[in-house]
Amino acid sequence: MSGKGGESSNIDIFLRIKPSPRISSRVAFEASEGKIEFNIPRDVAQGFVNNQKENYEFRFNGIIEPDAKQDEVFERVARSVINGAMNGFNGTIFAYGQTGSGKTFTITGGPERYVDRGIIPRTISAIFSDIAKKSNHQYSMHISYLEIYNESGFDLLDPGREIKAMEDLQQVHVLEGDDGMVAFRNLSMHRANNEEEALNLLFLGDTNRTISETPMNQASSRSHCIFIIQLEARQAGSDTVLRSKLNLVDLAGSERVGKTGVDGTTLREAKYINLSLHYLEQVIVALQERSMGVGNRQHIPYRNSVMTMALKDSLGGNCRTVMIATMSAVQDQLDESISTCRFALRVAMVRNVVMVNEDLDPSLIIRRLKGEIRDLKEELRLARGDTEDRGPLTADEIQKLQGQIQNYVSDPAPDAALPVGGSMLFIRAAFDLFRKLLRGGGLGGGGGKGGGGGGSVSS
């Protein structure tokens, strides 16, 4: 895989504030400046971090206000990443924040109203809309959906999920390919030919997600989920294939189990969630130190967890990455919100090197060269005047020509060819069959007349 146009860029960070009638007066934000401030007096003792610092200020690439609509979130956060993916650049959008702060609503959307669609369904719509506008390109889309539950990977599109217990399902393993990029074993890929097929895969995966009720959220995601879109594109007449991968990530929310009072299975899930988020923070800190040149940091602990390994390309790799931090501005949640903002600032220090992913496809090169040889042979025959002194085409020859025309018409390749040879008999017959097809008569029957050479080509 070759890359050109590579550039180093920091991860963009956005903050989305959850709507609430109880927004604390201790929070002030200027959306136009991307600035948010917290004022936590030292005499407040209801769960706040009670250190010497009273005022906190954080700056983001953008702040999404509580009354912002889903389409605005999509345009500000995701649009540039999608545009890059259509041109061969990898992209990642991930949501991070406390449980119940709006991550799943942001990434997937609400189930009741069409306008509440999240980033994933809007991304699918945008991609197919862009594909329809690029008639000189041929695109293909494949979709995978990974769930990481209690530090084990599972395929959300595995048909066996409906009949098997979680512990009986085949686990997905995260590997590092020969090119250093992340690869998955036992994770299925599904071709989506249109928007409806892609959305059905999303809905199927969401149905299989692991959720539970917690004191913070009636439908809390108990796993990290990565919706993966892989695109391939090539232009007519080109041997180059552009490939890109989009990771749309809904991280499970951090929670303080001492405050929520969960127990049993939910407590065990919370411990795994917090542990994986801790490993994520370790990776971010290591990448931050490397970007700032602190010490001689070379090793990045991606392998500490399944989730950080799955996001290896997105964090410090070849990827255009955007983080959307979600927070609650309710007073008793401000300590968690401050932690979320601190984490976001660390993420903003991480630098990725982004380059276009393009390959020369050997099969396309072979196909093009064979076509050139065929065309040269036909041109040579015509130039030498190699006309055949023979009678009309036989029924078998006409039937074969009809099949070639059907294949040519149905072939989606922009550079499809019709190999009729250099004989004027076949060329005239092909023109007559095309005329019948355009007039709505189909190709069957009556082809013998054109095949017999009685037809003509008008100019």
Q: Do 374 and 441 belong to one domain?
A: yes
Is residue 1 included in any domain, yes or no? Answer: no
What pLDDT score does 448 carry?
42
Tell me how many domains the chain contains.
2
Q: Do 44 and 68 belong to one domain?
A: yes
Binding residue per annotation — 99?
yes
pTM for the model: 0.77
pLDDT of 260 above 60: no
Helix spans in 332-457 (H) = 334-347, 362-384, 395-410, 424-438, 447-451
The one-letter amino acid at 451? G
Per-residue pLDDT band for 452 (boundaries 50, 70, 90) equals very low
pLDDT of 6 above 60: yes
What pLDDT score does 434 carry?
85
Binding residue per annotation — 316?
no
pLDDT of 65 above 50: yes
Torsion of CA 17, 22, 28, 33, to 10 degrees: 30
Is residue 456 included in any domain, yes or no? Answer: no
From 17, 21, 19, select the one nearest 38 (Cα to Cα). Answer: 17
Among the ranges given (44-53, 198-207, 389-398), the one the predictor scored with the smallest mean pLDDT: 44-53
Is residue 240 included in any domain, yes or no? Answer: yes
Mean pLDDT within 233-247? 87
Per-residue pLDDT band for 337 (boundaries 50, 70, 90) equals very high
pLDDT of 392 above 50: yes
pLDDT of 423 above 80: no
Residue 202, phi then psi, degrees to nearest 5: -60, -45
Q: Do 322 and 367 belong to one domain?
A: no
Tens digits of residue pLDDT in 97-127: 998 899 999 999 988 899 999 999 999 999 9
Binding residue per annotation — 177?
no
Q: Is 369 helix (H, G, I), strand (E, B) or coil?
A: helix
Binding residue per annotation — 385?
no
Q: Which residues contact 180 (CB under 8 A, 6 or more apart)?
A: none
Question: Mean pLDDT: which of 123-127, 258-262, 333-337, 358-362 is highest?
Answer: 123-127
Is residue 457 included in any domain, yes or no? Answer: no
What pLDDT score does 418 carry?
81
Q: Do 270 and 286 belong to one domain?
A: yes
Tens digits of residue pLDDT in 121-139: 999 999 999 999 988 889 9
Q: Which residues contact 178 (CB under 8 A, 6 or more apart)?
A: none
Among the ranges given (76-80, 286-290, 419-423), the one the predictor scored with the smallest mean pLDDT: 419-423
Q: Do 123 and 192 belong to one domain?
A: yes
Q: Do 76 and 139 belong to one domain?
A: yes
Average pLDDT, the chain: 84
Per-residue pLDDT band for 441 (boundaries 50, 70, 90) equals low
Cα–Cα dist 197/195, whole Å: 6
Q: Do 394 and 346 belong to one domain?
A: no
pLDDT of 436 above 90: no
Cα–Cα dist 215/220, whole Å: 9
Binding residue per annotation — 100?
yes
Range of the domain at 275: 7-360
Binding residue per annotation — 103?
yes
What pLDDT score does 43 carry?
61
What pLDDT score does 234 carry?
87
Cα–Cα dist 362/364, whole Å: 5
